[in-house]
């Protein structure tokens, strides 16, 4: 095995964000950057075997080729699996697993997600080590292999471990014109459900475009027009899943996680600080311990490993169940949700969790969020005394700060969001 060169490691990441490296192709995400990352990551893995998948973006083919070149230049083996959902790559990871994807972002974006040989997302410290190796010298000597059975292997794994008899269930499945376009409809059909598949004809530029987990309007219309029992929607790379009821009403990740927590009978669940206060109230009533993390599914995963838990998730639809899996999986989550209904409608199942009203806004910023803005939010939360709250969160993938206000009524949440927005704008020197 090759040895890693000794390099100086920085204290802040330059390229990695909340979930890998991401950007607009040809602007902040270039072929050269992808090749550099591939070389560095391969060196970090001691010139090992790197399993590579991608979503359906048109730019994915060129970036996959660039990544493979970087692996070869660093003396590694690039094993190319073609179009695959992100959780499949995590399950099939070799010395490394890599997905060329920008997840839920629009088609003009792309990026890279990394998994170690256990299928776990890399820590901040490891990402810093990889960035420090981006200019290291390499001597080549690697090879490229192709595999054709990765999709079949993944589908069999999911059906065997998460599937149940879905006979009599009629559902719409929104594939976001992404990596689940063939796999998800087949999975539900094989389990006996009547499936209406939508957004399952990817053309390279329609991924996440007015469809999928980032836009449930198409799914809601489809469910209502076809008299479906429910609908499920994935994002472009398949690590998120949201749902709609028979009436087309959205069911978010907090509600799905609440349903699964009670169905699976776990005594610990990991969530992020964006999770609805209604979820926390329900878990408190049911005696379930809640571990709260920063936003990002990898932080939820880290909490589950640390606390020896198996279930966690995010409001955005990352649902993680670590029994027979290594990461969040949209298809596995959808199958678990269908099983958890136990004869109820989705609306009835979701009613177990009374939701607090939430209002969210994005503010464009240049540079970092001022500490004074964070302090202003903390002062406002102190005034609220726990009956409501506000939250500021710099995005890990876009130049925006995300605002959240949460209260028992929509009117109070709207008012709170306006107050925190005005406070932040004042600290940023912006006019309203």
Cβ–Cβ < 8 Å for 359, 416: yes
- Residue 130 and residue 125: Cα distance in Å, rounded? 9
Q: What is the CB-side half-sphere exposure of residue 14 using CA atoms within 13 A? A: 12
The sheet carrying 400-407 orders its strands as: 357-364, 400-407, 389-394
- Residue 419 and residue 167: Cα distance in Å, rounded? 50
- Residue 287 and residue 285: Cα distance in Å, rounded? 6
Residue 17: both structure tokens together: 């964000």
- Residue 403 and residue 295: Cα distance in Å, rounded? 13
Q: What are phi and psi of 235, to 5 degrees?
A: -95, 180
DSSP letter, residue 52: E
- How many residues would you count in the chain? 432
103 is catalytic: yes
Q: Which of 47, 59, 103, 316 is catalytic?
A: 103
Q: Which of 54, 87, 104, 100 is nearest to 209 (CA)?
A: 104
Residue 186: both structure tokens together: 């087949």
DSSP assignment of 107-120, as one string? TTEEEEEEEETTSP
User: Beta strand 389-394 with 268-272: parallel, antiparallel or unpaired?
Assistant: unpaired
Question: How many Å separate Cα 380 from the centre of its chain?
Answer: 30
DSSP letter, residue 121: B
**Which residues participate in catalysis according to the annotation?**
103
């Amino acid at each position: 095995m090759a040895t890693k060169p000794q390099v100086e490691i920085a204290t802040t990441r330059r390229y990695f964000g909340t979930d890998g490296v991401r950007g607009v192709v040809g602007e902040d995400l270039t072929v050269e950057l992808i090749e550099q990352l591939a070389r560095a990551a391969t060196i970090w893995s001691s010139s090992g075997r790197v399993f590579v998948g991608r979503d359906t973006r048109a730019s994915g083919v060129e970036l996959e080729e660039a990544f493979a070149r970087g692996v070869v230049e660093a003396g590694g083996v690039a094993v190319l699996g073609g179009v695959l959902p992100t959780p499949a790559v995590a399950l099939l990871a070799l010395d490394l697993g890599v997905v060329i994807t920008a997840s839920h972002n629009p088609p003009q974006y792309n990026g890279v997600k990394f998994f170690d040989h256990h299928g776990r997302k890399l820590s901040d410290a490891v990402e810093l080590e990889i960035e420090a190796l981006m200019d290291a010298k390499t001597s080549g000597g690697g090879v490229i292999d192709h595999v054709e059975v990765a999709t079949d292997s993944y589908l069999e794994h999911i059906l065997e471990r998460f599937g149940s008899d879905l006979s009599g269930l009629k559902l719409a499945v929104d594939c976001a014109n992404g990596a689940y376009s063939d796999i998800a409809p087949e999975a539900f059909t094989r389990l006996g459900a009547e499936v209406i598949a939508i957004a399952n004809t990817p053309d390279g530029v329609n991924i996440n475009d007015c469809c999928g987990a980032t836009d449930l309007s198409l799914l809601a219309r489809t469910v209502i027009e076809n008299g479906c029992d429910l609908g499920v929607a994935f994002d472009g790379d398949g690590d998120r899943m949201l749902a709609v009821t028979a009436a087309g009403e959205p069911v978010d990740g907090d509600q799905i996680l609440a349903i699964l927590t009670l169905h699976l009978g776990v005594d610990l669940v990991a969530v992020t600080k964006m999770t609805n206060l209604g979820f926390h109230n329900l878990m408190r009533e049911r005696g379930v311990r809640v571990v709260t993390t920063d936003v990002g599914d990898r932080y939820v995963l880290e909490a589950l490993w640390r606390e020896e838990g198996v279930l966690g998730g995010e409001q955005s639809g990352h649902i993680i169940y670590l029994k027979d899996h290594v990461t969040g999986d949209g298809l596995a989550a959808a199958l678990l949700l269908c099983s958890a209904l136990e004869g109820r409608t989705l609306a009835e199942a979701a009613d177990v969790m009374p939701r607090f009203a939430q209002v969210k806004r994005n503010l464009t910023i240049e540079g970092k969020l001022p500490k004074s803005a964070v302090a202003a939010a903390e002062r406002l939360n102190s005034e609220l005394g726990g009956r409501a709250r506000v939250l500021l969160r710099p995005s890990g993938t876009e130049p925006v700060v995300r605002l959240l206000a949460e209260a028992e009524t929509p009117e109070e949440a709207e008012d709170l969001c306006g107050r925190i927005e005005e406070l932040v704008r004042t600290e940023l020197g912006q006019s309203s």
